Amino acid sequence: WDNHLALVHSGKHIQLIKNISSRKNSTMKRTAERFDSIYFNEGSSEASSLAAGSVIQAAEKVAKGELDSAFAIVRPPGHHAEKTEPMGFCLYNNIAIAASFLLNRRPKLGVGKILIVDWDVHHGNGTQKMFYDDPRVLTFSVHRHDSGEFYPYGNDGSYSMTGEGAGAGYNINVPWENDSCGDADYFAVWDHILIPVARKFNPDLIMVAAGFDAALGDPLGGCCLSPYAYSVMLHKLMEGYDLVSLANSAKACVEVLLQDKPLTRSSVDLPLKSTALVIQTVRQALSKYWPVLASELTDEVINSSRRPSQTEVQLLLV
- Residue 231 CA to residue 212 CA, distance in Å, equals 12
Sheet holding 137-144, edge to edge: 69-71, 315-317, 205-209, 114-118, 137-144, 171-176
- Residue 211 CA to residue 18 CA, distance in Å, equals 25
Set 79, 80, 122, 235: catalytic member:
80
- Beta strands of the chain (E only): which ranges? 69-71, 114-118, 137-144, 171-176, 205-209, 315-317
DSSP letters spanning 186-243? HHHHIIIIIHHHHHHH--SEEEEE---TTBTT-TTT--BB-HHHHHHH----S--S-H
Contact 119, 144 (CB under 8 A): no
Judge whether 80 counts as a catalytic residue.
yes
Residue 224: strand pairing partners: 182
Residues that are catalytic: 80
